[in-house]
Amino acid sequence: MDVSILGEYAERVYAWSLNHTFSDDEARELTQEILFTALKELPRLRDEKRFEPWLWALAANVSRKFARTLGKSRAVTAYGDLPEEMICPFEDKSDDNELYARIRQSVAALSALYREIVILHYYDELSVVEIANRLGISEGTVKWRLSEARRKIRKEYTDMETTALRPQKLRMSIYGSGHFGIGSVPFPTEYVRDALSQNILFNCYEEPRGVEDLARICGVPAYYIEDKVKDLVLRRALTEMSRGKYAADFLIITEKHKRYIEKQAELLTEPLADRLADAMQAFIFEADGIGIYDAGRSVSARSNAYLLFIFQYLRSRYNTLSYPPIEPNYDGFKWRYIAYSASEDASIDFITNICTFGGFRHLVYSNLVSRKQRQLMNDADIRVCSGLLLGEGVPDRAAAADAIRKGFIIRKPDGSCSVNCIFISKKQAKELYSIADRRFGPLMGEFSKYAEEFAEGYKTLFPRRLADDVARECARKFEALFIPALKLGWDDGLLDAQQPDDFCDLLVELDRGGNDR
């Protein structure tokens, strides 16, 4: 086979490598390893039609070896602030910021021999066994170095009665479009979940900061901060606002946003709440009559899934708030980060995960009671489930077995299979839209005015530099304004209240244009 074909794949291999490494430098190095290995192995490939799957399988193997090789050298770069109960067994009796800063400097000043152990144990919360495996040393050595590191800090600060470093933890997510979490392609958030990244991003959110400021705040040497900042800029999580000053390039939802949503959503929609609850009840009654495949779900599970589905339609149909388009990201997909304080549960909001494949879309919503979500189908799951639902049989036995393991398909005692997910055909989707227009349409003019009023106050809670993200966040909250009325319907017995264990997901057949509106 002509080796020149590798040149045609060089850019694609680099893009693949970028999604499987932590920095641009690593991606370039991995790309070279993959192409060099492919060059050596290519003469053994007899079937030219198998070139592309052969190449990506080879890339995966090379990547695993590459990761193991880099494990020791990269281990020290993935950390952040120390948990407050760690380093040494002192009680927290002071909020002395100056002392905190001094102790951060003390940790940063430890020699590399001790510092990487401290970082991995207290910053990344790895066990002694995990550290020993990561660094290729004995467990006894790990324990000894941890003890020595504690002793050195105690010796320098004999009067210390508190620990210094209090980590900021974020729950990272994305919205938009893209195929992630399938096979070996990770979600973009995998690269910004380490403790150091989250501390940098959190401390750069309200105002731009330089490397030296971040080193002081995080208690980490500046050269580590510089490397991590470079990676975060590459991952589009951080942006350089001015020379040497960086800011987080996405929204972070905190307690103040939660309080505003809870208070204002209920307050603004109160004049409409009873009529909205009545409309929901009438919608569910009609929706139950159009023969939707309900997978044997309970009344509460299916009725609330229908409602969350139709709230999204009402947003697309009646929302007057602008939703700026999302520009393609570094991987070519259109998505944006969004983060929540680790203590937040999105409160009144509900989160939607979406996977679209072959004219079908799997929609997964958060359970509003328990906050749990069902696993999202991947392309293979959708292909198998849609084939069963349309009477086409099982196209891929391995994929079907995987879907059974995940619970998307149930095997019956007689050997037959059924799909364990509510299914809405494109004809039924159009019927649901028509019912929604008839039941909710007369209220949407007034509702949209409340949404605009809500957005005016909500957008003041975010940094001005993130105007497009804020506009999209306000538009997305259009759906959240339905929740007070939904819960009123539960309380008044008009609607079946959602149960903590209810699955809240649907498989929807798209129209010919590939849209479900």
Contacts of 168 (CB under 8 A, 6+ apart): 80, 81, 198, 199, 202, 203
Q: Which of 16-20, 284-288, 406-410, 469-473 has the lowest mean pLDDT?
A: 16-20
HEC secondary structure over 292-329:
CECCCCCHHHHHHHHHHHHHHHHHHHHCCCCCCCCCCC
331 and 343, same domain (yes or no): yes
149 and 84, same domain (yes or no): yes
Q: Which residue has the higher pLDDT, 373 or 116?
A: 373
303 and 442, same domain (yes or no): yes
Instruction: Check: CB of residue 86 under 8 Å from CB of residue 123.
Output: no
Q: Which residue has the higher pLDDT, 237 or 268?
A: 237
pLDDT at 73: 42
Instruction: Check: CB of residue 318 under 8 Å from CB of residue 447.
Output: yes
pLDDT at 457: 94
383 and 440, same domain (yes or no): no
410 and 478, same domain (yes or no): no
In a domain? residue 411: yes
End of a domain among 225, 249, 273?
Answer: 249
pLDDT at 234: 92
- In the three-class reduction of DSSP (H, G, I as helix; E, B as strand; rest coil), residue 422 is classed as strand
pLDDT at 320: 93
In a domain? residue 220: yes
- In the three-class reduction of DSSP (H, G, I as helix; E, B as strand; rest coil), residue 306 is classed as helix
pLDDT digits (tens, 9 = 90+) for 57-67: 898 888 878 77
191 and 229, same domain (yes or no): yes
493 and 365, same domain (yes or no): yes
In a domain? residue 362: yes
Segments in 75-186 forming alpha helices (H): 97-109, 112-118, 128-135, 139-156
pLDDT digits (tens, 9 = 90+) for 169-197: 788 888 888 776 555 567 788 888 888 88
Please, what is the Cα angle at 498 between 494 and 503, to 5 degrees? 140
Q: What is the CATH number of the domain that holds 69?
A: 1.10.1740
In a domain? residue 470: yes
- Rounded Cα distance between 501 and 517, Å, is 29
361 and 451, same domain (yes or no): yes
Measured over the CA atoms of residue 92, residue 93, residue 95 and residue 101, the dihedral's sign is negative
Q: What is the CATH number of the domain that holds 100?
A: 1.10.10.10
- Closest Cα partner for 191 from 203, 176, 174, 205? 174
Summary mean pLDDT of the chain: 81
- Neighbouring CB atoms inside 10 A of 342's CB total 11
pTM of the model: 0.64
Specify the number of domains making up the chain: 5
38 and 88, same domain (yes or no): no
In a domain? residue 516: no
Taking phi over 0 as left and psi of -120 to 50 as alpha, with beta for the rest, 3 belongs to alpha
467 and 483, same domain (yes or no): yes
Q: Which of 175-179, 235-239, 248-252 has the lowest mean pLDDT?
A: 175-179
In a domain? residue 517: no
Domain span at residue 455 reads: 253-376+424-509
pLDDT digits (tens, 9 = 90+) for 265-306: 889 889 999 999 999 999 999 999 999 999 999 999 999 999
End of a domain among 190, 219, 249?
Answer: 249
- Rounded Cα distance between 467 and 470, Å, is 5
- Rounded Cα distance between 99 and 487, Å, is 48
- Rounded Cα distance between 428 and 443, Å, is 23
258 and 329, same domain (yes or no): yes
- Mean pLDDT value of segment 258-262: 86
Residue 124 has pLDDT above 80, yes or no: no
Say what percent of the chain tops pLDDT 70. 80
280 and 352, same domain (yes or no): yes
Instruction: Check: CB of residue 275 under 8 Å from CB of residue 445.
Output: no
- Mean pLDDT value of segment 23-43: 81
- Closest Cα partner for 459 from 480, 477, 479? 477
End of a domain among 114, 132, 167?
Answer: 167
The β-bridge relationship of strands 335-341 and 409-411 is unpaired
DSSP secondary structure code for residue 328 in this structure: P
HEC secondary structure over 199-219:
HHHHHCCCCCECHHHHHHHHC
Tokens of 40: 């050596």
In a domain? residue 514: no
End-to-end CA distance of the chain: 47
